[in-house]
Structure 1
Amino acid sequence: MRDLNTQPVKTLFLGTDWESVETLRSLLEDKRFDIVGVITTVDKPVGRKQILTPSKVKEFALENGIEIFHTEKQKEKYQQALEKFKPELIVCKAFGEILPDFFINYPKYKSINIHFSLLPKYRGAVPIQKAILEGEKETGISIMVMSAGLDEGDILKTIKEPIYETDTNLTLRKRLVEISAQSIGNILEQWINGNIQPQKQDSSKATYCWQKDISKENAQIQWEVMEPEYIERLVRAMLPWPIAWCIWENKRIQILKSTLVKKESNRKAGILFTEENRLFFSTKNPTLCLEILQLKPEGKSIMTPEEYIHGRNRN
C-alpha cells in the first residue's frame, strides 16, 4: 500500500483543450500526484490571420511552471519524453494523437485515459454528440487503461450521467468535465493501490463515432428526410460547432436553439413561417413543428426570433 500523500506519483499528463485543462488542474492541486510534465500539441495557426496559438493545456502549463514537451507524432520524441520525465503514471484526456505501444506500457501504473461515454458504446472522437443524436437517455465517463486499439482498454471505473431533454453538446460536456475532474484523483489512488480490478470490454457490443459524424455537411437539416425528433437533437448536438443549418430563400440559416412543439401545419417540410411573433419550421410530421429560439442568418449576427421577424418586416 502506497501512501500517495507522502509518496506522490510521478505523473505525465497528455492533453490539448479546455477539457484537458480541468483534469490537469485537478491533478496539479492534488498532492498525491507530482506532475512532472505535460505533452501537448504544437502551436497552430488560428483565425483569418492564422496567428500561431498554443493549446489551452500549454497556456495552463506555462502559467503554472509545468515543463512542456511536444512529440509531434514522432516515435523517437515519445521515447525522449520517457527518458526525460520517467513517469510512473500517464494520464491522457483529449490528446488527439495515436500513442506508440512502448509509450503507453512504460509507466509502472500504466497509462490511463478518460473517455466520455459508457464504453464499449461510442468508441471514438465524438461520443457526446453521438449520444445526443441517437436519443440516449444516459451517458457517462469511462476511466480505462490504455491499449493499442481505439478506446478498447480495460475499464477501471464508469460513472453514469443522465442526458436531459435540453442538453446540448456543450452543457453535457461541461458536466462530464466537472465530474471527471472531481473523481479522477480518488480513482487513480484506488488503482495504484490495487483496489480496482480492471474489467475487459465486451467488444461485440462496441459502437463507434468519428469526427466526420459532426461535419458541416452532416449538420445540414434535411427537412423532408429527417424525423422532427432527430432534427431537434441535431440542433443540440451540433453546438458549439459546426451548428445545425438549412437553406431558406437561397441563404443559409444556422439554428442555435430550438424546441419541438405540437402544432398542426399543412405546409410541406422545411417551410419557415411566423405566428404571433414566434418563428417555426414545418417538418415532415404535419402535427409537429420546430420552433426557432435562436438563429444566425447568413451574413448576420445571432438573433432572437423577434429580431429576425422585425428585420424581415422592415425589409
Structure 2
Amino acid sequence: MRLVFAGTPAVAVPTLRLLAAQHEVVAVVTRPDAPLGRKRVLTPSPVAAVAEELGLPVIKAARLDDEVTQEIAALAPELGVIVAYGGLVREPLLQTPTHGWINLHFSLLPEWRGAAPVQRALMAGDRELGASVFQLVAALDAGDVFARRTFEIPVEATADASLAALAESGAGLTAEVVAAIAAGTAVAVPQVGEATYAAKLSHADGLLDWGLPAEEIFARYRGVTSEPGAHTTVGEQAVKVLEMSRPDAAEVSLEPGELQGTKKGVLVGTATTPLLVVRVQPAGKGAMAAADWLRGLKADVRFGV
C-alpha cells in the first residue's frame, strides 16, 4: 500500500522500519528538530533520523495544518499510520488517505486513552499492559479497534523498558492490520467498557511520597522513569531517584523517609516495608551510587515525606 506515516519518538521507530520494508511509505511526518542537551543543539526526532536513513521523504511539522494536509493529499496515500506523533489529526486530513488513518496506541482501549498510557497504567498498579490498533477518529482515542495484544509486565519494569517492549510487539500488530486492510479483510469493532484517561505527565508527578505504602511508591517510580523522572528531597535540596528496587527481605524497621545504608544501596522507610534506592543524582551533581552518596554526607539526613 501507499502509506503516510506520522510519529516522533523512539517508540514509533520499530513500526516505521517494519512498514517501510513491506509497503511504499510516500512520506514520514514528524515533529520539528528539538534542542537537546546542555548546549541545546537542534536534533532531529528519532523517527526523522530513521526516515532519512531509509531514504524516505520527511515532513517536519509542529501541527498538521492546511499546508501539511495539501502536501500529503498530493501524494495520494491509501492509508495513514500514526504512532505517538504528538499532535492531532483533524478533518480534512482524517479523510485524506483512501482508508483514513490507523493509530497504534499503547493501551488496551478504552483503558488509558491519552498521552501517557503506559506511565499511568504502571502508576495505577495495573498488572498488564497492551497495545491497540484502531481507526483514528476526531474524538480522543475513541475509534473502532482492529486488533489488541496484551503484555505481561515484568515485576520491576519501568515505563522505559515497558514502552520498548511494546514498541516491538506493537510494530508487528500494526503490520498485520495494514496487511488486512490491503487485502480487504480487516474488521474493526467498537470499544467496550468504561474509558479511563492518561494525562501527560508533569514534573510534579515524579515526586515520591515516602509516607505511602511501598507498593504505591514503587509503582509511581516505575511509571515516571525515566521521564519526567522520580525525585525526592533532603531538606531543601532535590535528589533524583534514578534506580530503585524492592528488596527480597528487609528485616529492618524504618520510619517513612528514614535512610539506612547497605552494600547494595540505601534502604528508605515507607508506610509499610522499606524500599532500596540504588542510584541517585543530587542537585547539581552527576549520577552516583546511592550508598556512596549517603556515606559522603556530613550529617544524618532523611528523605522528605
TM-score (norm 1): 0.88
Conserved? CA contact 2:240–2:280, under 8 Å: yes
C-alpha spacing 1:107/1:74, structure 2 compared with 1 (3 Å): closer
What is the CA-CA distance between 1:314 and the residue it aligns to? 11
Q: Does 1:128 align with 2:118?
A: yes
Rate the CA distance shift 1:290–1:27 in 2: closer, same or farther, 3 A: same
The residue matched to 2:142 in structure 1 has which SS? coil
1:107-186 equivalences under 5 Å are: 107-186=97-176
Measure, in 1, the Cα distance between the counterparts of 2:299 and 2:124: 40
Task: Tell me which amino acid in the other structure corresponds to 1:23.
Answer: T
Would the aligned equivalents of 2:64 and 2:89 in 1 still touch at CA under 8 Å? no
1:59 to 15, 34, 49: 49
Contact 1:109 1:192 (C-alpha < 8 Å) held by counterparts: no
The offset of 1:308, in angstroms, is: 2.5
**In structure 2, distance between residues paired with 1:168 and 1:103:** 35
Alignment of 1:293-304 (within 5 A): 293-304=278-289
What's 1:91 paired with?
81
Mapped partners of 1:71, 1:254: distance in 2? 33
How far off its partner does 1:216 sit?
A: 1.3
Which of 9, 17, 23 is the aligned partner of 2:15? 23
Amino acid at match of 1:230: E
Q: Does the aligned pair in 2 maintain the 1:43–1:55 contact within 8 Å?
A: yes
CA distance in 2, matches of 1:170, 1:11: 28
Number of aligned pairs?
299
SS of corresponding position for 2:285: coil
* CA shift for structure 1 position 74: 5.0
Structure 2 CA distance for partners of 1:249 and 1:75, relative to 1, 3 Å: closer
Work out whether residues 205 and 224 of structure 2, in 8 Å CA contact, stay in contact via their aligned partners in 1: no
Give distance in 1, aligned partners of 2:4 and 2:262: 57
Structure 2 vs 1, CA of residues 35 and 276 (structure 1 numbering), >3 Å: closer, same or farther? Answer: closer
Per-residue displacement from partner, 1:177-219 (whole Å, max 9, x unpaired)?
A: 11122332222111332323211113x51000111xx311121
Q: Which residue is equivalent to 2:257?
A: 270
Inter-CA distance 70–143: structure 2 relative to 1 (3 Å threshold): same
CA distance in 1: counterparts of 2:40 and 2:13, whole angstroms = 23
Task: Please tell me whether the aligned partners of residues 271 and 282 of structure 1 are also in contact (alpha carbons under 8 angstroms).
Answer: yes
Distance 1:268 1:311 in 2: 22
Q: Which moved more, 1:267-276 or 1:15-24?
A: 267-276
Unmatched runs of 5 consecutive residues or more in structure 1: 1-8
- Structure 1 residue runs of 4 or more that deviate by more than 4 Å after TM superposition: 264-267, 275-278
1:64-109 deviations in Å (ceiling 9; x for gaps): 2211223442531133123321100101011011111221222222
Q: Report if the CA contact (8 A) 1:124-1:151 is conserved.
A: yes
Deviations 1:282-306 (A, max 9, x none): 1122xx1111122222222222234
Partner residue, 2:188: 198
TM-score normalised to structure 2 length:
0.91
Q: Is the 8 A contact 1:115 1:142 kept in 2?
A: yes
Equivalent residue of 2:140, what SS? coil
Counterpart position of 2:221: 235
Contact 1:156–1:191, Cα closer than 8 Å, also in 2: no
In the alignment, is the contact (CA less than 8 A) between 2:3 and 2:78 conserved in 1?
yes
What SS does the corresponding residue of 1:218 show, helix, strand or coil? helix
In the TM superposition, what whole-angstrom CA distance separates every residue of 1:257-301 from its partner, at most 9, and x where no partner exists?
22234545554311122256741111122xx11111222222222
Shift of 1:310: 4.1
Structure 2's unaligned 5+ residue stretches are: 301-305
State the Cα deviation string for residues 227-261 of structure 1 (Å, max 9, x = none): 22111111111111122111124322211222234
Conservation of the 8 A alpha-carbon contact between 1:255 and 1:294: yes
How far is 1:53 from its partner? Answer: 1.9
Q: Aligned residue for 2:303?
A: none
